[in-house]
């Protein structure tokens, strides 16, 4: 399969977008692919297809993906990453309270101020209102596209090496053949030309794009962006509420919600949760989730 006209990562707020794009960015630098990181429709004037054409983009990381903007895009293959909506809301609460940059998001400033005046329980309720737009984008997504591979963050981050190999293979840009010493030297020289082109912002015009990336190189990029390195030695599950990479542990919502949060969430987002497969029973409970998690942990340690 030849490389399509466009490659894409479609994500949503608090769904590992920065981490994924960091790896994508390294791949695009090596391969000489023009890429863009898009988080707001104002960046492309509401015309994503036109933005891609005008800038001759090879890859877009559209991290607050709204399905309505996919119309008119050239032939593409992409990945779409989702996360348990309950974890999204908890992650958003801590991020919006402590760590998320505000320079490109003026609406976050008064929201952060409001959160700072509330205790955690009330703050989480307010966060459900503020982050509703992000869950709405997940709700309106078409999950049956043949040109997009659907990925759950909980699975993807558990084995990111396998995950990125599968994604790049789906996109048709993974070179699975072995790279011996004789093959690595031409690759490194050619990628150096591409990286120099990017660093010079086109002043050095020579660019030698690849169609594929060696699997070994993909694995190295993932290793360079492992959780322990990004957090300067902190293990997954070890929390730092002021870090962009706060905890890295799925199911953390259950440690922060009470019945009030569950009731409010079910009233608006239960159908989305069931559609994504994070629950199978519409009458799920905090106690039921905790019990199921304990059973999984016990089975894993046998």
Which pTM does this prediction carry? 0.91
User: 6-300, what's its fold?
Assistant: Rossmann fold (3.40.50)
Please state, in angstroms and rounded to a whole number, the distance separating the CA atoms of residues 301 and 62. 39
Residue 196 has pLDDT above 80, yes or no: yes
3-state helix/strand/coil string of 208-253: CCCCCEEHHHHHHHHHHCCHHHHCCCCCCCCCCCCCCCCCCCCCHH
Residue 149, SS3 per DSSP: strand
The Cα angle at residue 152 between residues 149 and 154, in degrees rounded to 5: 150
Mean pLDDT of 182-195: 95
Res 249: pLDDT: 80
Percent of all residues in the chain with a pLDDT value above 90, rounded to a whole number: 84
The domain locations on the chain are: 6-300
With bands split at pLDDT 50, 70 and 90, how would you rate the model's confidence at 234? very low
Mean of the per-residue pLDDT values of the chain? 93
> What kind and span of H or E run contains 192?
helix 181-199
pLDDT digits (tens, 9 = 90+) for 138-162: 999 999 999 999 999 999 999 999 9
């Amino acid at each position: 399969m030849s490389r399509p006209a466009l490659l894409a990562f479609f994500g949503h707020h608090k769904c590992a977008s920065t981490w994924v794009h960091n790896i994508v960015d390294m791949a695009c630098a090596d391969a000489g692919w023009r890429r863009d990181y898009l988080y707001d429709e104002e960046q492309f004037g509401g015309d994503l297809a036109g933005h891609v054409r005008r800038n001759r983009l090879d890859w877009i990381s559209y991290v607050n993906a709204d399905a309505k903007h996919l119309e008119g895009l050239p032939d593409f293959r992409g990945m779409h990453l989702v996360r348990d909506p309950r974890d999204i809301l908890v992650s958003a609460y801590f991020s919006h309270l402590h760590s998320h940059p505000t320079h490109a998001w003026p609406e976050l400033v008064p929201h952060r101020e409001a959160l700072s005046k509330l205790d955690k329980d009330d703050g989480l309720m307010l966060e459900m209102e503020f982050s509703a737009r992000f869950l709405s984008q997940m709700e309106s997504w078409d999950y049956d596209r043949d040109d997009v591979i659907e990925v759950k963050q909980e699975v993807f981050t558990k084995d990111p090496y396998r995950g990125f190999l599968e994604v790049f293979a789906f996109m048709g840009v993974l070179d699975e053949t072995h790279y011996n010493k004789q093959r690595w030297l031409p690759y490194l020289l050619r990628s150096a030309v591409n990286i120099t082109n990017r660093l010079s912002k086109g002043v050095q015009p020579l660019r030698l794009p690849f169609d594929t990336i060696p699997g070994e190189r993909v694995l190295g990029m993932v290793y360079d962006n492992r959780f322990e390195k990004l957090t300067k030695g902190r293990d997954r599950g070890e929390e730092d509420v002021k870090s962009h990479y706060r905890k890295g542990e799925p199911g953390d919502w259950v440690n922060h919600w009470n019945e009030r949060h569950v009731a409010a969430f079910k009233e608006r987002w239960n159908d989305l949760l069931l559609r994504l497969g994070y629950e199978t029973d519409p009458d799920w409970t905090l106690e039921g989730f905790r019990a199921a998690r304990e059973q999984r942990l016990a089975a894993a340690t046998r």
